[in-house]
């Protein structure tokens, strides 16, 4: 822990889920055909000075279209943590996949931090391939282009510090412009991995996720998470339901909805 840095409260909001089985999540499948559901999260870091939202989730319409179980609007749920969405000024987009970069119109004052490489990819020649284009919603990509013309995009080409105690780190692989976030908290730096590691098992067992653009970058992403985390318990995967089991509810009213990541996990 660095005494000179602010200590943020950090929360994960669970906004959707879907059923799944182990073989469909890992590159090369898995010999155990057991259930392996996925949760969908956004995260928010809060200090007396600021609230930084990490990813914006998707809308009910996109969830219905893609067969996800929509539980609640992730942006509206910020209100339950005392954060007014219309006042949020800083938002990180870890990448532009549909479940991370929807709802942009619900944050009217925000500036959005994105790796420039991600918008190049999402508007580039490879989008003619359905397999590579499928994770993106064209509307979200168009929203980012409009926001850029409105001077509301902060595009980065590498690591960046948004504010003291909140840092961005590129780690492509799953998507070329993917980035993860380190947040300084009372238990030291917590690593919000987003889709650099969908599940605990990806980074812990060095097992690549099925959806991959560059496998070498994905493997090096696991290394980058580990290098920046004070311990494995400081890494927060992007889609693992166990995050909701390991961390305490943000408040009694938010049981099953939001958990506090700035405190140590139960196990």
140 is a contact residue toward Zn ion (CB under 5 A): no
Least CB distance from residue 67 to Zn ion, whole Å? 15
Rounded least distance, CB 97 to Zn ion, Å:
5
Distances from the Cα of 17 to the Cαs of 70, 71, 158, 251, in angstroms? 7, 8, 31, 21
Binding span for Zn ion by CB under 5 A among 19-27, 151-159, 170-178, 194-202? 194-202
Structure tokens at 77: 């749920």
Sequence-ordered list of residues with C-beta below 8 angstroms from that of 171, at least 6 positions apart, any chain: 178, 179, 180, 196, 217, 220, 221, 224, 225
Which segment (115-123, 191-199, 241-249, 258-266) binds Zn ion by CB under 5 A?
191-199
Name the 3-class secondary structure at 126. helix
Q: Which stretch binds Zn ion (CB under 5 A): 24-32, 91-99, 106-114, 139-147?
A: 91-99
R_g of the chain, CA atoms, integer Å: 17
User: Residue 215: which H helix or E strand, with range?
Assistant: helix 215-228
**From the CB of 87, what's the least distance to Zn ion, in Å?**
26
* Residue 195 interacts with Zn ion (CB under 5 A): yes or no: yes
Least separation in angstroms between residue 16's CB and Zn ion is 10
Which one, 99 or 201, has the nearer CB to Zn ion?
99
Q: How far apart are CA 200 and CA 221, in angstroms?
A: 13
In degrees, to the nearest 5, what angle opens at C-alpha 216 toward C-alphas 12 and 210?
A: 55
Residue 39 as a binder of Zn ion (CB under 5 A): the answer is no
Footprint on residues 99-128 left by Zn ion (CB under 5 A): 99
Least distance in Å: CB of 177 to Zn ion? 14
In the complex, which residues of this chain contact Zn ion (CB under 5 A)? Answer: 99, 195
């Amino acid at each position: 822990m660095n005494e000179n840095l602010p200590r943020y409260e950090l929360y994960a909001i669970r906004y959707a889920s879907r059923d799944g089985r182990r073989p469909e999540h890992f590159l090369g499948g898995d010999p155990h055909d057991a259930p392996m559901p996925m949760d969908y999260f956004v995260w928010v870091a809060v200090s007396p000075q600021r609230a930084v939202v990490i990813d914006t989730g998707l809308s009910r319409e996109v969830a219905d279209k893609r067969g996800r179980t929509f539980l609640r609007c992730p942006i509206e749920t910020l209100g339950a943590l005392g954060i007014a969405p219309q006042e949020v000024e800083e938002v990180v987009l870890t990448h532009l996949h549909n479940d991370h970069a929807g709802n942009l119109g619900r944050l009217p004052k925000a500036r959005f931090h994105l790796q420039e490489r991600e918008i190049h990819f999402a508007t580039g020649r490879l989008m003619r391939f359905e397999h590579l284009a499928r994770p993106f919603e064209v509307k979200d990509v168009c929203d980012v282009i409009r926001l850029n013309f409105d001077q509301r995009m902060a595009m980065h080409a590498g690591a960046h510090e948004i504010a003291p105690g909140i840092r961005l780190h590129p780690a492509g692989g799953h998507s070329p412009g993917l980035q993860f976030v380190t947040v300084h908290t009372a238990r030291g730096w917590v690593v919000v991995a987003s889709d650099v590691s969908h599940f605990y098992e990806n980074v812990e067992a060095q097992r690549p996720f099925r959806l991959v653009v560059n496998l070498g970058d994905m493997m090096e992403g696991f290394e980058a998470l580990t290098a920046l985390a004070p311990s494995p318990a400081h890494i927060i995967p992007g889609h693992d339901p166990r995050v909701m089991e390991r961390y305490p509810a943000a408040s009694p009213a938010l049981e099953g909805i939001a958990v506090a990541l700035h405190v140590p996990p139960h196990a």
